[in-house]
Every structure is written in C-alpha cells, then in structure tokens.
Chains A and B, each alone.
Chain A
Amino acid sequence: GESVGLHLPTLSVQEGDNSIINCAYSNSASDYFIWYKQESGKGPQFIIDIRSNMDKRQGQRVTVLLNKTVKHLSLQIAATQPGDSAVYFCAENIRGYQKVTFGTGTKLQVIP
C-alpha cells in the first residue's frame, strides 16, 4: 500500500552543524507533507509543512524541500543545537481525508 518512510534511522550531528533528515514517500495524491518533532516522553510536535505545489518552504532555522519527481522530502535544520535532539517524523495528508500518515522516524543526536 501507499507509505511514507525514512532513509536513516539515526543521525548524529555535531552541535553547530547543519542537519538533513530525509524521507521517501509513495502516495503521489498527498496534498501536504509535514514534519513533526518528538522529544523523549512527549507527544509529537508540528514543525513545518509544505504543500504539494511547492518545492521549498522555510521556517525558523528549518527548511523543508520537496522533490516530487523522485518523491523525496527533506528537513534541514541550520546550526543544530542540543535542544534539537529528538525523533523526527515525516507525514503526509490528503486534503479532506483526515488521515495523516506517519513515517517510521529518524532519531537525531546532537553531539556537544
């Protein structure tokens, strides 16, 4: 069936460096792609989303890139900080279907 998945289960990054978390998706009907951050013991927290008709969107220290040709999504975090250590999930949504589908997650470890 359609699915959203991640390339790397764990990513270790030096504090201050940039992080790139990747995601592959297969449902070309999705309207929105979303990144969530989940800290240990907490619920996921919305970071940023991107509509399917866009290829780039920037937030505060984060940038999401969408490549529909190869069905690839990435989250870039600039100047990674210890507080960025968490599990990051990509997700997708089809407008009107009320069913957000999550990938398996990537753990980001920031090395001080």
Chain B
Amino acid sequence: NAGVTQTPKFQVLKTGQSMTLQCAQDMNHNSMYWYRQDPGMGLRLIYYSASEGTTDKGEVPNGYNVSRLNKREFSLRLESAAPSQTSVYFCASSGASGGATGELFFGEGSRLTVL
C-alpha cells in the first residue's frame, strides 16, 4: 500500500534553474495539497486541488505553479528557483471526509536545496 509517493526525495538546484516535484496517490482521493516545511516552523500550504481539474492558491504560492494532471497526480513546479525556496516539500491527499475533518495523508517529503 504505497499511499502518497513523491519524487525526487532529494534535489539540489542552482538559483534560476527550474524543476518539477511529482506526487501521486493511490487512495482514490479527490483532494491533493502541496506544503512546504522550514526549520522550526509548521507546514505552510502552497497550493491545493480540491478535485480533478481545479487548483487554488494557499498561503505561500509565489514562485510556484501546480498541475493536477489527473485524479492521482499533482505536480509542483519551480520555474526559477531561489535560495528562499530551500525547504522540505510535502504532498498530501484527503478523501471526502478528510476534506471536512482535516485528515491528510502525507508523502515522505522532497528535500530541495537551492544554491
């Protein structure tokens, strides 16, 4: 039972480079999310997708774009990476009840360093 799978797990970029973080879930969940986590801080919502075909901004969307490719997959793109985007990125998903209660299922995280 894979749950939420993120790739890559680690990535080092130079300032100005672009990259895409991939996320897939196998739980048939409608909603998917991208969070970032910085040292000593909680998780901050970047973008979310309440259902296939829709995406919305979260708390810190600047510098990011997302694509809900299908019900399973939700990708996060950095068009021109900046050192301030050095962080651990988590993808999450939730089912019908989870969207109400806040029960999210998280991936293992993608650790991104921008030099």
Chain A interface (Cβ within 8 Å of chain B)?
A: 4, 9, 31-34, 41-46, 49, 51, 89, 91-93, 95-96, 98-105
Contact = CB atoms under 8 A, between A and B. Distances in A.
Contacts of A43: 4, 90, 92, 106-109
Interface of B: 4, 31, 33, 35, 40-45, 48, 50, 56, 58-59, 90, 92, 99-109
Given A42-B109, A98-B48, A104 B41 contact: yes
A41 to B, nearest CB: 8
B43 A34 contact: no
A42 B6 CA distance: 12
A104 B101 contact: no
A32 B42 contact: no
B102 A44 contact: no
Contacts of B100: 31-32, 93, 95-96
Contacts of A33: 102
Nearest to A51: B101
Contacts of B104: 44, 46, 100
